[in-house]
Amino acid sequence: MEKLFAAAALFGLLLWVWSEFFRAIPNLEQVGVLKNFQLTSKEEIQGRFTVLDKRYYSAGHRLLHPAAPTVVGGFQDLAYVSNIDLLLSQNQQSYQTLKQQFEWTQDSRCFELKAKSSTSAPLAQTSEQLFNMSVIASTEVVANQIRRLKAGQQVQLQAEWVDVHSIKTGRAFNIAAARHGQHCRIYKINAIRIL
């Protein structure tokens, strides 16, 4: 039984190392990405944010993943340009306070916030100060900085809300249903600094 636990622990450690240091995060400097996706800037944002959550997203299982972004023609899923979702807060409350008052889940690529009790801060007001970002890294340096983000960290961010279209099909990528409101969007991060 001890060998089974040791094997499971080793597997968990290897999975963590892969996720932390080797998981591929696309960026706009990679060959093939801008050949397949067109980005149109809509609005710039910048400021100081608290990271509440970071989740990886992958293409649908029905798709065959190319081994490298240099393979052209297989980029028909948003995950090939944006495979990390961030939930950020501009709220002045600390990460621990928000975590005590609210819980969040992810539906498709949009986070949904729920109050844990009736004494929590107003849900609508808190939701207005959250940014759900499906992130596109502008450079490899930015992609590596995003990879290292942890919940509870403060970051200085410069980004732009973008529309993303497939060049091959002309299809627009929408991540938000109407109920998710204005704060669930695709953002291209131009600069990020952990404070």
Q: Looking at residue 72, what is its pLDDT?
A: 41
pLDDT band of 137, cuts 50, 70, 90: very high
User: How high is the pLDDT of residue 64?
Assistant: 44
Tokens of 138: 């502008």
Model pTM?
A: 0.79
Mean pLDDT for 144-173 is: 91
In one letter, which amino acid is 52? L
H or E element that contains 11: helix 2-17
- Report the distance separating Cα 86 and Cα 76, nearest Å: 22
Averaged over 128-150, what is the pLDDT? 91
Question: DSSP letter string over 16-43?
Answer: HHIIIIIS---BTTSTTHHHHEEEEEEE
Spatial neighbors of 188 by CB under 8 A, at least 6 apart, are: 28, 39, 41, 136, 137, 138, 159, 160, 162
- For 38-87, the pLDDT digits (tens) are 999 999 999 999 999 999 887 654 444 444 444 444 566 788 888 899 99
**Per-residue model confidence as pLDDT tens digits over 165-176:** 988 888 888 886
Return the residue matching tokens 């627009």.
172
Round the CA-based radius of gyration of the chain to a whole number and report it: 18
Kindly state the average pLDDT of the residues 79-106: 85
- Most confident of the ranges 18-27, 43-52, 112-121: 43-52
User: CA-CA distance, 153 to 171, in Å (whole number)?
Assistant: 35
- Tell me if 169 sits within 8 A of 67, measured CB to CB: no
- When pLDDT is averaged across residues 98-119 and rounded to a whole number, the result is 82
- For residue 158, the number of C-alpha atoms closer than 13 Å in the C-beta half-sphere is 5
pLDDT of residue 68: 45
Q: What is the pLDDT of residue 11?
A: 83
Predicted pLDDT at 63: 43
Q: Which of 46-60, 106-120, 134-148, 172-186 has the lowest mean pLDDT?
A: 172-186
What is the pLDDT at residue 19? 61
